[in-house]
Chain A
Amino acid sequence: MSKEEKKPFSQTMAEWRQFVYNPRSGEFLGRTAKSWGLILLFYLVFYGFLAALFTFTMWVMLQTLSGDIPKYRDRISSPGLMISPKPVTALEFYFNKSDSKSYAEYVSTLKQFLKSYDDSKQSKNIACTAGKLFEQNEDRAVKQACQFNRTKLGSCSGVEDDTFGYAKGTPCVLVKMNRIIGLKPEGEPHIQCSPKEEGKVQITYFPDGGMIDLMYFPYYGKKLHADYLQPLVAVQLAINSSITKEDVTIECKIMGSPNLRNEDDRDKFLGRISFKVQMSE
């Protein structure tokens, strides 16, 4: 093979210019305008067709889906737990009980969150039989929701204490279970929290024993069950600040129900949640 001789730079430039636009043949980037046009047209038609095919298959696929319940729910067989208020960065609460600014955000989040649980808003919901699954007839277009009164949350309801205990050094955290359509917990599900180190914190549950009543299940989806209210469990922490200067880690788990998992190796939020609290004075 003969080696390519080095071309002078000016010639290379001229060749490039020639390539970009060749005035003699009217070629632009190696092709004439007509040729470019045809290619453009071809790809327009080609991609147009593909896009149409794509849209059509998507449409057909969506037609096969119901708007009420998803086709499959096997990825979420068991619910996760979540807390409110939720600190922005990580699940770590830092506040000073004598500085109202330090917990103002938590308080406002809780207030916002509990608004939909106001008694006035729950008048349209019905009172259900406690301790029993509230299964509703399939032909019912709009499912009814059970009442969950704020007052069930006792001193964490914000009714008496509008700082949710933060000012007194007994902060409240609401624990909720993720909504999953059709989930029917078995047994007597309840939330149980424990600090990592024993004795540093005293925990009070609202409602009593952290019970989650079965009457709030199953959930029928946001379209059918628009008024649905998730049952909540409030956890009030009484931190013994004289002993504890560092943060305490609290782990909450859902217990008492065989079909709600709480010990998945990979998913640290499946049926459990842990958060840190550090309080100063």
Chain B
Amino acid sequence: MNSTVAGEILLRDGPNELKPPKGTPEYVKFARQLAGGLQCLMWVAAAICLIAFGIQCGQGDLTSADNLYLAIALIAVVVVTGCFGYYQEFKSTNIIASFKNLVPQQATVIRDGDKFQINANQLVVGDLVEIKGGDRVPADIRIITAQGCKVDNSSLTGESEPQTRAPECTHESPLETRNIAFFSTMCLEGTATGIIVNTGDRTIIGRIASLASGVENEKTPIAIEIEHFVDIIAGLAIFFGGTFFIVAMVIGYPFLKAMVFFMAIVVAYVPEGLLATVTVCLSLTAKRLARKNCVVKNLEAVETLGSTSVICSDKTGTLTQNRMTVSHLWFDNQIHTADTTEDQSGQSFDQSSETWRALCKIVSLCNRAFFKSGQDNVPVPKRIVIGDASETALLKFSEITLGNVMEYRERYKKACEIPFNSTNKFQLSIHELEDPRDPRYLLVMKGAPERILERCATIMIKGQELPLDEQWKEAFQTAYMDLGGLGERVLGFCHLYLDPGQFPRGFAFDTEDMNFPTSGLCFAGLISMIDPPRATVPDAVMKCRTAGIRVIMVTGDHPITAKAIAASVGIISEGSETVEDIAARMRIPVEQVNKREARACVVNGGQLKDMETEELVEILKMHPEMVFARTSPQQKLIIVESCQKLGAIVAVTGDGVNDSPALKKADIGVAMGIAGSDAAKNAADMILLDDNFASIVTGVEQGRLIFDNLKKSIAYTLTKNIPELTPYLIYITVSVPLPLGCITILFIELCTDIFPSVSLAYEKAESDIMHLKPRNPRRDRLVNEALAVYSYFQIGAIQSFAGFTDYFTAMAQEGWFPLLCVGLRAQWENDHLQDLQDSYGQEWTFGQRLYQEYTCYTVFFISIEMCQISDVLIRKTRRLSVFQQGFFRNKILVIAIVFQLCLGCFLCYCPGMPNIFNFMPIRFQWWLVPLPYGILIFVYDEIRKLGVRRHPGSE
């Protein structure tokens, strides 16, 4: 292969990397932000404004450009909120992009007869590459030469055992054969060279990844909620607008005027700031979660986690630490428990026995794994080891208990060794002794316990070699069964001091002929290993349980191991039995057990294959505690679908490529940030940076909190729509001078009220949300009838009265009595009438009346603001009294109220405002007029909350 040809092929095939799933083009994403339900309404309103302005121009009336301003303002609102939403989305997509570019992968390639280190994405089909232990396979490779090469295919096939790779073709299927190594799998040990046969998306993993993108992304529950709500709002806006359009026509307004009324009602009724509020609230929570190591790709996913009722969790890496660790030892006829905590903070066992010293020696010496150099300052559990999982576990174990193993091995020089292979099922090595005067050789051996036992004649108990009689054999069997039953991988260890007469120093040991004894050895003990659960997981599973969330384990691992881990983390709770357990306890055949008595159930992939979907749904209903073992990617997908059929909102956690279809299918897919493959991360909605299951619980809590708080925010936002709408209704029907202008409404919606409504997102939970059941997506809506009715017809009504009181006060004090105002509209707005008389006989020009009208706008605006301050206070809680919740505990909310007041003052008293935004400086007492109504709102709501607390159940 020479580099020019490689360059040509690179041009032809494109770079060797997975193309991110075909995203929507950016302009479509942006356009989508501009074309939501509410946005469309606003476009219509803006269009009406422009038309009205156009007609006015056509009629030669150039006096008022209000309609033009309003149209521009509306378009600006839509575009700005659209940009904002787009930016939020863009930012969260970027987080993912940054993941990928973090570590550019390198590969060793042989081109033009020389070795090069190049970026893996530059590789092409036909390149000769070298891989060694610790590398990621850079493309699909056909192996040409290999030395003890093992790869980890777990992310592709779910097999957790390392697979040997060799040049021989052993199977027709590329997935089964030994001479193909797959893109993005890990090479664990050994070296190999191979020719690239596929690159980029044409690799096996690329194909699975593109398969996953075929699974439709489900709409998030919050998206459904918001859509539901926007539909209602848009419908009501059109209904109100339409009704009053007809009313206006019937009363006798000209068509154009009626259209402008329609537009004004739409502007007044549509909560323009709502979508921005929701986005900000969600992104605040997303930020909060990011600090706790959950990165959210899709903002709406924040809430989805809160409504989750089932979590299908992968075992390896999520519930467990994803590293084999020595957990138990059996020597001196006793099972000892080793420390399996992540930071080695647990209790150690008694290490004084002679047998332990012998066992420890075997463990340290009969081990081919070694630490990568230059890690002396790294804590032992975190050091990188070259070697397979069990040997790594043993190496770390002896490093911790014994000290410097590398140096120890130096002292006992290795004379020869036989690596583990599947026919022997043992591994042995022969070492010189540390003491140069002792000429003996030491033979150490480890392997499958039953094979080791066969080769032993004696057993070491308390440092004494005793003959291995039936009694000891039975003891061994019991221990072996016990440890195996815990789902642990058990290894046996034995040794023999060779006779110095027969094997003097410098004896040529031959590993092929085995010219040394391999039987009659001395049995030292058993060591069992497991991938232990993370320390935080049992607690997190418990929390899920109290929160009414079912945790189901779905794993590719063995049923026994899966069950053991499930039991130790609490997925199968204490005292729960499977059908098999009951059968064993009652000594009856499995068929006779009443299946309903079994709370727990372990189903393996084989059983699952024969099951109908209905059957699976039935099983999921019957047993609350489920473990699925030995499952394939397809089966994971089926399990998720079955849960969804039961009406559950399903979260799936996973890390491998094989999980990606299920991650995509789930309502929320959670990928692991450290162990996760790119495909999994692409398919997921959320990424756990620390691979920690407990982070999911944090996510659930935050999700529930944001749902509650969004409810409050929306209630707050909705309330003011009524006092914004009523001025128009009164204006049209009673013909008073307009109390509140459209521009002013936009200021309330988008300026002063945004911060308080966002600040409600910082509100603490009222009760322990993690003790409630997950919400029922069908029943517990974001916006329900009761909430809307209460906001609109009660609080909103009070606010309207406050506004009108203040409006009439301001009018009367300037000379226009309420009764005069009624029916005054036509004269008031007639710009040829420059001498309109007020109640005192004074004559006003049109300009003077206009400023008076602006004063009314401002006064009404201030009234709404004052009432909204009261509103935001009552919205802090839904059941508790505000006094119980604490007025000042939510600092952001207090700041928001102060900010709102300052903004109100600024709008009123900043010079130039009257002519730009129609705000007038108003008298101090007009700030106070709405106060009694504000207090009324507060007291009224406290009474309601008292009622709710006294009579729970009635909302």
Contact = CB atoms under 8 A, between A and B. Distances in A.
Interface of A: 1-2, 43, 46-47, 50-51, 53-54, 57-58, 61-62, 65, 68-73, 75-76, 79-82, 86, 89-91, 176, 178-181, 219, 221-223, 225, 264, 266-270, 273
Contacts of A43: 793
A57 B842 contact: no
Contact of A178 (B224, B840, B842, B855): B842
B726 to A, nearest CB: 12
B729 to A, nearest CB: 14
A269 B840 contact: no
A264 B844 CA distance: 15
Contacts of B221: 1
A57 B803 CA distance: 12
Contact of B847 (A72, A89, A266, A273): A266
Contacts of B812: 61-62, 65, 71
A65 B845 contact: no
A75 B840 CA distance: 14
Interface in B1-52: none
5 cross-chain pairs, A with B, having the tightest CB-CB distances, nearest first = A222-B841, A267-B847, A80-B845, A178-B843, A70-B815
B798 interface: yes
B844 A80 contact: yes
B674 to A, nearest CB: 30
23 contacts: A1-B649, A46-B797, A53-B801, A57-B805, A61-B805, A70-B813, A70-B814, A70-B839, A70-B840, A71-B813, A71-B814, A72-B814, A75-B814, A75-B844, A75-B851, A76-B842, A80-B845, A82-B843, A176-B835, A179-B841, A181-B842, A269-B846, A270-B848
B777 interface: yes
B337 interface: no
Nearest to B224: A1
B644 to A, nearest CB: 6
Contacts of A75: 814, 844, 848, 851-852, 855
Given A70-B840, A72-B813, A181-B841, A264 B847 contact: yes
A42 B794 CA distance: 11
A76 B848 contact: yes
A31 B667 CA distance: 35
Contact of A70 (B218, B797, B842): B842
B805 A58 contact: yes
Interface string B926-942: 00010010001000000
A116 to B, nearest CB: 14
B832 A270 contact: no
B915 interface: yes
B838 interface: yes
Nearest to A266: B847
B847 A269 contact: yes
B844 A178 contact: yes
Contacts of A91: 832
Contacts of A69: 840
Contacts of B936: 53
A61 B809 contact: yes
B647 to A, nearest CB: 7
A162 B198 CA distance: 108
Given A54-B805, A79-B843, A1 B218 contact: yes
Given A75-B848, A80-B834, A266 B843 contact: no
A80 B838 contact: no
Given A43-B793, A57-B932, A90 B832 contact: yes
Nearest to B845: A80
Contact of A82 (B777, B797, B804, B835): B835
Contacts of A72: 813-815, 923
A185 B815 CA distance: 21
Contacts of A65: 812-813
B219 A267 contact: no
Contacts of B814: 70-73, 75
Contact of B804 (A54, A221, A225): A54
A264 B842 CA distance: 20
Nearest to A54: B801
Contacts of B649: 1
A50 B801 contact: yes
Contacts of B845: 80, 178, 267, 269-270
Contacts of B647: 2
Contact of A179 (B797, B809, B843): B843
Given A2-B644, A221-B841, A178 B801 contact: no
Nearest to A47: B797
Contacts of A179: 837, 841-843
B899 interface: no
Contacts of B855: 75
A70 B809 CA distance: 12
Contacts of A82: 834-835, 843
B818 interface: yes
Interface in B814-850: 814-815, 817-818, 832, 834-835, 837-848
Contact of A50 (B798, B846, B852): B798
A61 B272 CA distance: 35
A53 B840 CA distance: 27
Contact of A223 (B835, B840, B851, B915): B840
Contacts of B847: 80, 264, 266-270
A46 B792 CA distance: 13
Nearest to A271: B845
B889 interface: no
A117 to B, nearest CB: 17
B397 to A, nearest CB: 47
B493 interface: no
B86 to A, nearest CB: 26
Contact of A221 (B798, B840, B929): B840
Given A46-B794, A80-B847, A178-B835, 4 more contacts: A1-B218, A54-B804, A62-B818, A269-B834
A264 B847 CA distance: 10
Contacts of B667: 1
Nearest to A69: B840
Nearest to B818: A58
A80 B808 contact: no
Nearest to B920: A75
B287 interface: no
Contacts of B840: 68-70, 181, 221-223
Contact of B832 (A47, A61, A89): A89
Contacts of A54: 801, 804-805
B115 interface: no
A264 to B, nearest CB: 7
B621 interface: no
A267 B224 contact: no
A62 B817 contact: yes
Contacts of A1: 218-219, 221, 224, 644, 649, 667, 777
Contacts of A73: 814-815, 842
Nearest to B645: A2
Nearest to A228: B841
A86 to B, nearest CB: 7
B848 A80 contact: yes
Interface in B185-236: 218-219, 221, 224
B941 to A, nearest CB: 13
A79 B929 CA distance: 30
A76, A179, A222 — which one has the most chain B CB atoms within 10 A of its CB? A76
B447 to A, nearest CB: 52
B848 A267 contact: yes
Nearest to B785: A30
B840 to A, nearest CB: 5
Contacts of B818: 58, 62
B843 A80 contact: yes
Nearest to A221: B840
B523 to A, nearest CB: 59
Nearest to A222: B841
Interface string B855-886: 10000000000000000000000000000000
A180 B842 contact: yes
